[in-house]
Amino acid sequence: MSLTRRSLLAIAGAGALAACAPSTPAPPAVEDPLKDDGVKDFSFTAWSLNEASTKDALQSMVDRYAGGSGGKITTASYPYNDYLNQVLLQIRGGTLTGAMQVDVAWLATLAATGRLADLGSIAGKADYTEAALSIGKVQGKQYGIPWTSAGIGLIANKDLLSQAGVTNPPKTITEFESALRALKALGNGVVPWAAMTKVDQLKDFIAWMWAFGSPVVKDGRIVVGDDASVEALTWYKKLYDEKLIAPDVNRFDARALFAQGKVGFYEDAIGGRGAVVKAATDKSLGDKLMPVSRPMRSSGVKPVNLAWGHALVVLQGTGAAAASRFVTAVTGTAAYNSEWFAKTGLPPTTKSALDTAAVKNDAFTTAFTGAIGGFVAADPFWIYPKFAQIESALANGVQAALIGKASPKDALAEARTQMEALTA
């Protein structure tokens, strides 16, 4: 057989392509990933190790734990927005071990790697609330120990509402719309509701589909595009067209606008308070934040908000047992819980910590839990390893409707087609 220049090039090209394919060996079965291997050193990966509002508190907790345990904790951090991709790559490459902070939204994706240790055996070592434990589970297995848990819900500027004549928080969609119109009438550049309208945060729309009665996922099937979700999107677009919500807003924009006292409502997790207060011109803005129960289509219907939380997971491998002891200490012991709450404002997940005076006397936390945190449900797409792409498909559909590229019905139908393909 003769080799021509062309065939040599073809072989080289095929070789290059083959070299580019990532290797995904099946993870070996591990009998008891938390069996003590005698190793005291482990690594801890967390984005909170680098965020201004949390890094000093967390580093001090890590240092204190390391000092007490006699082991060395090697820390690493990646920016929140790149975190999942980075840790996935490292887990797939077999270079990441120890304990790791995760957003509960990522658990299914990370569990699909087969490298997370089942922490069911340590879940009983502290009195975690059932609700918190449930957000750390994937298909019944406790891969994550909850560290902080709440929801993403509406937060209002009490002062602006009062100026607009809105004396009671809206309970229904109709009341909510009236409040928005009253806020708009204030003029002076007030944005009645800094709702998410950029694709990166349009997952918030899931909670509004719930508010209109759509289950979003029913019996394992995505039902986006049903009558209730179309009604929700039609409503959202109406508010957009009437400029009751602003275009091109994501969470950071909403916080910045809210901090200027120009926003009536926006949606955020409990940890957003720190960012808003820090950026505020009005130093008393913190006292004007009012968590609001999500308005539903009909009064008397229990509100539902998207769950939000951080969990700690343990990766199989060297030092897993030591890492699991660290996870239990940080998430489940009174000293660490109270320190973390005092310095970051992030609520703990154990019953005893939630019952402490520090937590109960914090007005914002109590109000947030009462209006939002106590009424949460997990994002129905978290169970799918490709949840991020699924949410992107939904977000693109919602945005297509908002900017008039497609009708709400067509936009959601198209989104569902794409989402179903991603669940296959």
Partner 1 sequence: MTVITKRITIAVIGVFAFGPVYWLLVTALTPNEDVFRFPPRLWPSRVTWEHFANLADNPALARYLTNSVIVASLTAVLTVMVSAYTAYSFSKFRYRGRRSLMYLILASQMFPQALLLITLYLIFSASGLLNTYLALILSFTTFTLPLCVWMLKGFFDTVPDELLEAAKVDGAGQLSAIHRILLPVSLPGLIATGLFAFIRGWNDFIFALTLAGPEKQTLPPGLVNTYLGEFQAAWPDLMAASLVVSLPVVIGFVILQRYLVAGLVSGAVKG
Interface residues toward partner 1, by CB under 8 A: 5, 9, 12-13, 16, 19-20, 22-23, 47, 50-53, 75-82, 86, 89, 93-95, 103, 189, 252-253, 255-257, 259-260, 262, 271-272, 274-275, 278-281
CB closer to partner 1 out of 297 and 343: 343
Euclidean distance between the first and the last CA atom of the chain, given in angstroms as a whole number: 44
What is the DSSP-derived secondary structure letter of residue 197? -
Tell me how far, at minimum, the Cβ of 86 lies from partner 1, in Å.
6
CB 255 within 8 A of CB 191: no
Q: Which of 307, 304, 297 is CA-nearest to residue 171?
A: 297
Tell me how far, at minimum, the Cβ of 270 lies from partner 1, in Å.
10
**Strand-pair partners of 1:** none
Q: Which of 55, 48, 107 is CA-nearest to residue 78?
A: 48
Report CA 84 to chain centroid distance, whole Å: 12
Integer Cα distance of 228 and 214 in angstroms: 5
Tell me how far, at minimum, the Cβ of 401 lies from partner 1, in Å.
26
Tell me how far, at minimum, the Cβ of 50 lies from partner 1, in Å.
5
Q: What is the CA radius of gyration of the chain?
A: 23
In this structure, the number of other CB atoms found within 10 A of the CB of residue 245 comes to: 23
CB closer to partner 1 out of 24 and 139: 24
- Token code pair at residue 284: 């008393």
Amino acid at 364: F
CB closer to partner 1 out of 148 and 350: 148
Tell me how far, at minimum, the Cβ of 6 lies from partner 1, in Å.
9
CB closer to partner 1 out of 78 and 375: 78
**Strand-pair partners of 312:** 101, 145
Q: How many separate helices (H) and strands (E) can be counted in the chain?
A: 19, 13
- Token code pair at residue 230: 């179309």
Burial 334-359 (b: 16+ CB within 10 A, else e): eebbbbbbeebbbbbbbeebbebeeb
CA angle 66, 31, 115 (to 5 degrees): 60
Integer Cα distance of 273 and 258 in angstroms: 10
In this structure, the number of other CB atoms found within 10 A of the CB of residue 392 comes to: 19
CB 393 within 8 A of CB 415: yes
Integer Cα distance of 179 and 199 in angstroms: 25
CB closer to partner 1 out of 86 and 318: 86
Q: Which of 326, 365, 361 is CA-nearest to residue 348?
A: 365
Sign (positive or negative) of CA dihedral 391, 397, 401, 407? negative
Tell me how far, at minimum, the Cβ of 100 lies from partner 1, in Å.
14
**What number of CA atoms fall less than 13 Å from residue 89's CA on the CB side?**
6
CB closer to partner 1 out of 161 and 280: 280
